[in-house]
Amino acid sequence: MKTRQDDGLVERLDAALPQTQCTRCGYPDCRRYAEAIARGEAPINRCPPGGEEGVRRLAAITGQPVRPLDPEVGSEGPFGVAVIDETWCIGCTLCLKACPTDAIVGAHKRMHTVIEAYCTGCELCIPVCPVDCIAMEVTTPGRTGWQAWSTTQAATARRRYQARQRRLAREAEEAEVRRLQKAEAKLADLAQHSRHTDPALLERKRALVRAAIEQARAARAARTAAGPGAGPAEPAGR
């Protein structure tokens, strides 16, 4: 059973992470990594953006010994920002969807631009670009880890990530409401939406649509009951 003490530990661990949301640790975001550390399921040396100083901070919180950064997740390096070559950008919006802090602006078939102040250097936009028009530009030469990143920047990144998560959840909820309304309208006038006229067949179709609607309602109710941000802290599979 989760306790207030557990919550406090997660909060302290999360506050010690740089909030780049890069997923290089193997978890979907910094918070999930903090939760995994708190449960004893993840080591403290899997955050390249935090670097050696980050490992020391996590060690001080958990009481674990300091250990070298796990080479499996990459190496510590200077921070940078994504730069889009606008002459090659095709406006596909894939980088907008990949950015965890909504630091890229643009529209479909319009050139995209990075808001430098909000870019965490996570590099998640690079692999999704189909024309390879995104590159990283180093902004902290000679400085790495927490020597190149501040707690203020981390707090800003966390706020923007959380705002994005709320927006995505709201948009998903609105889309689901529209789907339910469409299904209910179809159910109310199924005969007009089907090529079949056999009453028995139409009734079977009604039963299928009703079952789908009820299943969607139940899933929606379960998500609402679980609250925002609910979900297992599964590794990101990177």
- Assess if residue 65 is contained within a domain: yes
Closest CA to 180 of 215, 142, 225, 135: 215
151-188 helix and 199-226 helix, angle to the nearest 10 degrees:
160
pLDDT tens string 25-57: 999 999 999 999 999 999 999 999 999 999 999
| Residue 103 three-state SS | coil
Residue 107's pLDDT is: 86
| Whether 16 and 62 share a structural domain | yes
3-state class of 14 per DSSP? helix
Q: Residue 49: which domain range? A: 4-73
Q: Are both 66 and 84 inside the same structural domain?
A: no
Let me know whether 93 and 55 are in one domain: no
Residue 211 confidence (pLDDT): 77
In the prediction, which pLDDT does 50 show? 98
CATH number of the domain where residue 52 is located? 1.10.15.40
Whether residue 91 is contained in a domain is answered as yes
Query: Is residue 65 located within the same domain as residue 36?
Result: yes
Residues 113 and 86 in one domain: yes
> Which DSSP string corresponds to 77-144?
-B-EEEEE-TTT-----HHHHH-TT--EE--TTS--EE-GGG-----TTTTT-TT--EEEEESSTT-B
Domain count of the chain? 2
Quote the pLDDT of residue 114.
Answer: 97
135 φ/ψ angles, rounded to the nearest 5 degrees: -135, 160
Last residue of one domain, picked from the residues 95, 110, 139: 139
Is the residue at 114 inside a domain?
yes
How confident is the model at residue 126, as a pLDDT? 98
Distance, CA of 134 to CA of 86 (rounded, Å)? 9
CATH number for position 92? 3.30.70.20
Question: Smallest Cα–Cα separation from 69: which of 88, 82, 50?
Answer: 50
Q: What is the pLDDT of residue 237?
A: 47
Tell me what pLDDT residue 30 has.
98
Residue 161 covered by a domain: no
**Which residue carries 């994005």 as its tokens?**
164
> Does residue 68 share a domain with residue 10?
yes
Mean pLDDT by 10 residues, the chain (238 residues): 70 98 98 97 98 98 98 97 95 96 91 95 98 98 97 98 94 83 72 66 73 75 62 45
Query: Same domain for 109 and 62?
Result: no
In DSSP terms, 113 is beta-bridged to 105
Pair 6, 42: CB distance under 8 Å = no
Q: Does residue 234 belong to any structural domain of this protein? A: no
pLDDT at residue 224 in the model = 66
Q: Tell me if 102 is assigned to some domain.
A: yes
Taking the model in full, what pTM does it have? 0.78
Q: Check whether residue 58 and residue 109 sit in a common domain.
A: no
The answer to whether position 21 is within a domain reads yes
Token readout for 222 is 């379960």
Which of 110, 139, 168 is the C-terminal boundary of a domain? 139
Q: What is the pLDDT of residue 57?
A: 98
- pLDDT at 58 (0 to 100): 98
Q: Is residue 29 part of a domain?
A: yes
